[in-house]
Amino acid sequence: MSLNVSDLTIARGGIKVLEAVSFVLDPGRALVLRGPNGIGKTTLLRTVAGLQPPLAGSVAAEADSLVYSGHSDGIKATLTVTENLDFWASVFGQNDIAPAIAAFQLERLSTRPAGALSAGQKRRLGLARLLVTGRPIWVLDEPTVSLDTDAVAMFADAVRSHLAQGGSALIATHIDLGLPEAQILDVGPFRARAMEADDFDEAFL
């Protein structure tokens, strides 16, 4: 169930951003990606999640083992918190959303329309979605945006218990998550030499 990324070269908008990225993420481990804005962390995570193809290299993981969470939470404003979680749970073939609601302390908000939540509460709902998917490998892009310190601690607890159950997490973030056991990978050294991608058409796709 480990995630094996080897020699990955990725491009954004037809420009190579990172070259020859390799790492292995074993069950029970967390890997934190660091690097300045625009270095390609989001592109790397989207490639790992299978949303875009790499220019070179490979991402090897068991089928249907990844769950991706990006900058936006995928929450429908007119559905309630419970309806939102129920939907994602049934898409992923699960049915128990109670642990997710408890982990992010959404009990008191559960009947509210998601559109009436604050930015931080929405993010908590978005993170609770990870728990209802039942997938072992979490791929998270800046999960703590707009969370307060308590909620960051909630998130760290959720990640820790996920790791304890044999899951793993790949997280791009700029802040300290309070996860001392996580390995840190600085993607700076993998920055690609400024050069356009070989495939000219790629820029228009």
Partner 1 sequence: MIALLIRDLRLAMRAGGGFGLGLAFFLIVVTLVPFGVGPQSELLARIASGILWLGALLACLLSLDRIFALDWEDGSLDLLATAPLPMEAVVSVKALAHWLTTGLPLVLSTPLFGLLLSLPQAGYGPLVLSLMLGTPALSVIGTFGAALTVGLKRGGLLLSLLVLPLYVPTLIFGAEMARRGAEGLTYSTPLLMLAGITCGTIALLPFASAAVLKVNLR
CB of 189 to partner 1, least distance (A): 25
Site for partner 1 in 72-111 (CB under 8 A): 72-79, 83, 86-88, 90-93
> Minimal CA–CA distance to 168: which of 21, 48, 43, 18?
48
Q: Which is nearer to partner 1, 42 or 179 (CB)?
A: 42
Positions 27 through 66 that interact with partner 1 (CB under 8 A): 46, 49-53, 64, 66
Count of beta carbons in the 10 Å neighbourhood of residue 37? 7
- The separation between CA 141 and the C-alpha centre of its own chain, rounded to angstroms, equals 4
Total residue count of the chain as it appears in this document: 205
CA distance 50 to 100: 25
**Is 68 a residue that touches partner 1 (CB under 8 A)?**
yes
Nearest residue (CB) to partner 1, 88 versus 155: 88
Taking the C-alpha atoms of residue 14 and residue 84, their distance in angstroms, rounded to an integer, is: 35
Task: Quote the least distance from Cβ 91 to partner 1, whole Å.
Answer: 5
Residues in contact with partner 1 by the rule CB under 8 A:
46, 49-53, 64, 66-79, 83, 86-88, 90-93, 129, 205
